[in-house]
Chain A
Amino acid sequence: MIDLENVSKTYSAGAPAVNDINLHIDAGEFVFIVGNSGAGKSTLIKLMLKELEPTAGRIVINGKDLKTIKHRKIHLLRRDIGVVFQDFRLLKDRNVYDNVAFAQRVVEVPNRIIRRKVPAVLSMVGLAEKYKSFPKELSGGEQQRVALARALVNNPPILLADEPTGNLDPKNSWEIMNLLEEINNRGTTVIVVTHNKEIVDAMQKRVVTIQKGMVISDEKAGGYLYED
């Protein structure tokens, strides 16, 4: 599903942010990518979304080689990856329903399907009742669930969550993680970038640890290796 071969990324000055990373993730896997801030996690995500070009190496996602993909086809790559961010990135001028429907509109899904699909995905994340609320009327946990619904509504084969619990209290964090696990159980490949030790230790999933741009460990079912 996801293949990184000897991928490096060096910004104009200084040491490489990502240094010769090899990573293979199969379809249906649940993977934590952990590491200190500055370890190169964000750069890795940007490389996978083709927001950045690697300095060296090859990235293949869902059969698409990111080096050779044409510029006008990049949007098709992005449709393969649902993304959730620490800061939710919801549209503040739109209610919950429209925020989720927006994801379908931008990929030109017909309205009759949007009307069916959005309530379904909202009830999956437990927000069916709040579809008319605006983001500012929701708690952090609820906002993250909206963001999750938005990332999932188009059924991407891959879900990429960048610090999804970074702004949440432990209770809400667990609710989000349980949702992610449920989504994974339905067949979606889930990648969670985090430094939430408690969660990583408790869930006993595959853990890839990155330090100074390099993969220093890749455990099949492990815990958080290093303290922040």
Chain B
Amino acid sequence: MKIRTWGYSIKQGMINIKRNKLFSLASIATIAICIFLIGLFYSVFVNINHMVEEAEQQISVTVFFKPGITDEEIANLKDQISKRAEVKEVTYTSAEEAWEEFKAVYFGDHMDLAEGFKDDNPLANSASFEITLNDISMQDVLVNYLNSLKDQGIRQVNASENTASTIDTFGKLVAYVSVALIVVLLAVAVFLISNTIAMGITVRREEIGIMKLMGASDLFVRAPFMVEGLIIGLIGAVIPMIVLLVLYNRVVLYIITHFQQVSSFTIFLPVKDVFNILGPLALVIGAGIGLIGSMITIRKHLNV
């Protein structure tokens, strides 16, 4: 088909939409809701993922040693633990370092107050390993393993209790529910579009018959209806994207100001990072729904 013909087809597609306002609007609204929800779930999902990643960075397991452990034994343990698949990094903090750190945090500018402990490190037994994990869901496995090493000089294993795995489970739940909902909505959207196009074809039945008799190619007959579906799909994608774009920063700001305990450990993704993927994704989904919807109807009703 020639380029100028596409101009004609686009014009005819627009005429179809205008003629069939109510159905077109219903289709656009359904797609818009569908893509809005996709966008919403996507935003929530990537943010949760982001938080989980952040949490994974922060969550670590701390291991303390029995008194009298030798440097050699510590080095040995470090080797063994580092070899574990779930372990990302093992950092050794000696008792002196622990004390220096403690002093810096708790005495701050008043170092003289700490002088009283000068020759008697109160944290003498607090040499430790800080172990970060590749995958926080493996934390329990690691803790069990570490506990089994107690006869090799480990005194105590401190692990942050399951905040991380809760986040993980919640994220998965949101993902499952949203996928199910989105699939249903997508089906409804395709159904509505194909009905809208069917209306257009019915209205134009006579014209289509004449076109075919005149020798219009199949594509020429179909193109206006494909354009119609495409335009409906794209409008249905652009509207929720604008709404989400406006809402995103406001919601993030609202959460941070109203739920301080949340903002203390959550860092939201910047709007740009979310929409870099979400924007094109929404347009592709919108256009896809529109085209699929119109193709279904064209196959069924336009025997060309």
Q: Do A and B come from one complex?
A: yes
* B215 contact set on A, CB distance < 8 A: 75-80, 106-107, 154
B211 touches A106 (CB 8 A): yes
Residue from A75, A77, A89, A105 within 8 A of B8 (CB atoms): A105
* A78 vs B220: C-alpha distance when bound (angstroms): 14
B residues 192-243 near A (Cβ < 8 Å) are: 206-207, 209-218, 220
Query: A21 within 8 Å of B by Cβ?
Result: no
Q: Write the nearest CB–CB distance from B219 to chain A, whole angstroms.
A: 9
* A100 vs B213: C-alpha distance when bound (angstroms): 14
Query: B4 within 8 Å of A by Cβ?
Result: yes
* A151 vs B207: C-alpha distance when bound (angstroms): 15
* A111 contact set on B, CB distance < 8 A: 4
How many B residues, CB 8 Å from partner? 18
B residues 69-109 near A (Cβ < 8 Å) are: none
* B5 contact set on A, CB distance < 8 A: 108
How many A residues, CB 8 Å from partner? 21
B210 touches A75 (CB 8 A): no
Residue from A89, A105, A110 within 8 A of B206 (CB atoms): A89
Which residue of chain B is the closest to A107 with respect to CB atoms?
A: B215
* B220 contact set on A, CB distance < 8 A: 106, 108
* A49 contact set on B, CB distance < 8 A: 213
* B4 contact set on A, CB distance < 8 A: 108, 110-111
Q: Write the nearest CB–CB distance from A121 to chain B, whole angstroms.
A: 14
Query: A103 within 8 Å of B by Cβ?
Result: yes
Query: B1 within 8 Å of A by Cβ?
Result: yes
Judged by DSSP, the binding face of B is helix
* B214 contact set on A, CB distance < 8 A: 78-79, 102-103, 106-107, 150, 154
* A221 contact set on B, CB distance < 8 A: none
* A78 vs B211: C-alpha distance when bound (angstroms): 10
B8 touches A78 (CB 8 A): no
Query: With A91-B206, A91-B207 in contact, is A107–B216 under 8 Å at CB?
Result: yes
Query: B2 within 8 Å of A by Cβ?
Result: yes
* A146 vs B75: C-alpha distance when bound (angstroms): 99
B residues 4-31 near A (Cβ < 8 Å) are: 4-5, 8
* A75 contact set on B, CB distance < 8 A: 212, 215-218
B216 touches A106 (CB 8 A): yes
Which residue of chain B is the closest to A72 with respect to CB atoms?
A: B218
Query: A83 within 8 Å of B by Cβ?
Result: yes
* A78 vs B218: C-alpha distance when bound (angstroms): 12
A residues 105-122 near B (Cβ < 8 Å) are: 105-108, 110-111
Which residue of chain B is the closest to A82 with respect to CB atoms?
A: B214
Which residue of chain A is the closest to B209 with respect to CB atoms?
A: A89
* B213 contact set on A, CB distance < 8 A: 49, 78, 83
* B211 contact set on A, CB distance < 8 A: 102, 106
Q: Write the nearest CB–CB distance from A73 to chain B, whole angstroms.
A: 9
* A108 vs B1: C-alpha distance when bound (angstroms): 8
Nearest 3 A-B pairs (CB), nearest first? Answer: A79-B215, A106-B216, A78-B215
Other than A75-B215, A107-B215, give 7 A-B pairs with Cβ distance below 8 A.
A75-B218, A79-B214, A106-B214, A108-B1, A108-B220, A154-B214, A154-B215
Query: Can you identify 17 A-B contacts, CB atoms within 8 angstroms?
Result: A72-B217, A75-B212, A75-B216, A77-B215, A78-B212, A78-B213, A89-B206, A89-B210, A91-B206, A91-B207, A91-B210, A102-B214, A106-B215, A106-B216, A108-B2, A108-B220, A110-B4
